[in-house]
Amino acid sequence: MVQRSLSVLVPSRSLLVVVSALLLAGSISAQSAQSGATPAGKTYYVSSSGNDASSGLAPFHAWSSVARVNRQVLEPGDRVLFAAGEVFPGTIVLGKDESGTPEEMITFASFGDGRAEIRAGNGTGFDLVDVAGIRISNLFVSGSGFETNEGIGISFFTALPGDVKLSSIRVDGCRVSGFRSGGISIGSRKGRSGFQDVRVDHCRLDHDGDDGMKVWGSYDPTWGQAIEDYAHRSIYIAHNVFESNWGDPRRTTTHTGSGCVVAQAAGVLIEHNEALDNGGLNSFKGGGPVGLWLWDVLYGVMQYNESHHNKSATIDGGGFDLDGGTRSCLMQYNYSHDNDGAGFMMYQFAKGARPMVDVTARYNVSRRDGGRGGSGALQLWNDDRVGPPITGARFHDNHVTVEAKSAGVPRAFRVTGSGGVTRSNFSDNVFVARGASVWLGEVTLSPAPEWKGNYFLADAGAFVLHDGGVTYSSLDAWIKATGHERYQGVLRRGCRTIRC
């Protein structure tokens, strides 16, 4: 392979340092809060055999209902423990003065072997407004099913004025299932106010409607792209499973059915997750779901994840995406396979996105992705013909294999849209096309990104590459006509085609 220059590697290393630094304060707080010291506050117990007239301060003096929990004014360090294996109907709510601190969080969890179930029916499981310093651990939060439920599994929301940041949310070891409006929602709707130090890990988010998990907030494309210009910061999402969140077919004006989507945030790390079988009921024709993706994010990293068998009834249904307004974001060491849409996409939407700058996909593997809507396994797409071009988009050292699919004709790579790209390239990738009804690639943007040192492998008769409205049946013909894969007229070392 072609030797990689330091200029490619240093920005990604620096990005990891920045993201780690943004997450560090939360990590220190979490360690201090779980250091093994005797917790402050009181521990309240809830059991179906309890009595709401009891003190709740011991298992044999337990309360019996969610309603009694809601009447208690909780203090920092308090814990509410529900009996494992038992069911507790209702919605848990907190007053606006019932916040914990990073060191003394208010905790909701189970006691005994297994998980307790918070059964929300047609409503929301946890409805938490303008509060933080909260931990939700080892609970099953259930709705009546995405077809009948109208709520969210676990919802944190703020509309406080003043660009405030509410600190510390923990959700770990939980299953959240059966909610039409999503499994976990962390959102804000007032200027740059939002949440910071958010950690969701070792959870299962399945059979929800809108999304398995989403982080969202207010934004304005005229705002800058500094850390303080985002509603949320320091988001860590790890070791979760996002499965069979199929979307809400009633919603036809926006996409639904993603595994996990994070937006309006600075400092995001998503790692060691699995997203599968999401999005199949999305009915929005203007866009679709993706297994794991970021948009309007500064300093975001997705690494060591697997995203597969995601679908859409319209378009998209891909594995991974860095979408509109992402800046200094990275996808690396991920495995994407058997998705309807792109395996790894960078997409700048028209009208309303902040600039897309310095985005990278490297060291990823894609197998049998693409096809729906003509999508490619690696896809670079700028639909913003008015705004600035995508700047610094890099796909390097990825390994891609495409095969014939019923969803459409897949491409190993696709570069398209009505906007522009600059300082962008595809380098040192391996593209493999197997069998008939597949293309090695499609390029419609002009000027196109730079191509250097890529490998192109094709079965006999499978070398099909479309560029600028012309179809090429050999690598030599494409290079000769376009000048790609050459530097100062010389073919770059590593660029070649092989018949498999």
Kindly write down the DSSP assignment for every residue of 451-484, as one continuous string: EES-EEEE-TT---EEETTEEESSHHHHHHHH-T
Q: Indicate whether 60 pLDDT > 80.
A: yes
Query: What is the pTM (predicted TM-score) of this model?
Result: 0.93
Count of C-beta atoms within a 10 Å radius of residue 97: 10
* Mean pLDDT, residues 3-23: 57
User: What does the DSSP 8-state code read for residue 18?
Assistant: H
Give buried/exposed letters for 98-135 (b at 16+ CB in 10 A, else e): bbbbbbbbbbbbbbeeebbbbbbbebbbbbbebbbbbb
Q: Which CATH architecture has domain 6-40+108-499?
A: 3 Solenoid (2.160)
| Residues facing 300 on adjacent strands | 268, 329
* Mean pLDDT, residues 121-134: 98
What value, to the nearest 5°, has the Cα angle with vertex 237 and ends 236 and 241?
170
The letter for the amino acid at 350 is: A
Say what the pLDDT of residue 478 is. Answer: 92
pLDDT band at 4 (very low <50, low <70, confident <90, very high): very low
| Per-residue pLDDT tens digits for 448-482 | 899 999 999 887 567 899 999 999 988 999 999 99
Say what the pLDDT of residue 6 is. Answer: 29
Q: Indicate whether 178 pLDDT > 70.
A: yes
Q: Where are the domains of the chain?
A: 6-40+108-499
Residues in the chain, overall count: 500
> Is the Cβ–Cβ distance between 264 and 218 less than 8 Å?
yes
Say what the pLDDT of residue 15 is. Answer: 78
Query: Comparing 21-30, 161-170, 254-263, which segment has the lowest mean pLDDT?
Result: 21-30
| Per-residue pLDDT tens digits for 304-317 | 999 999 999 998 89
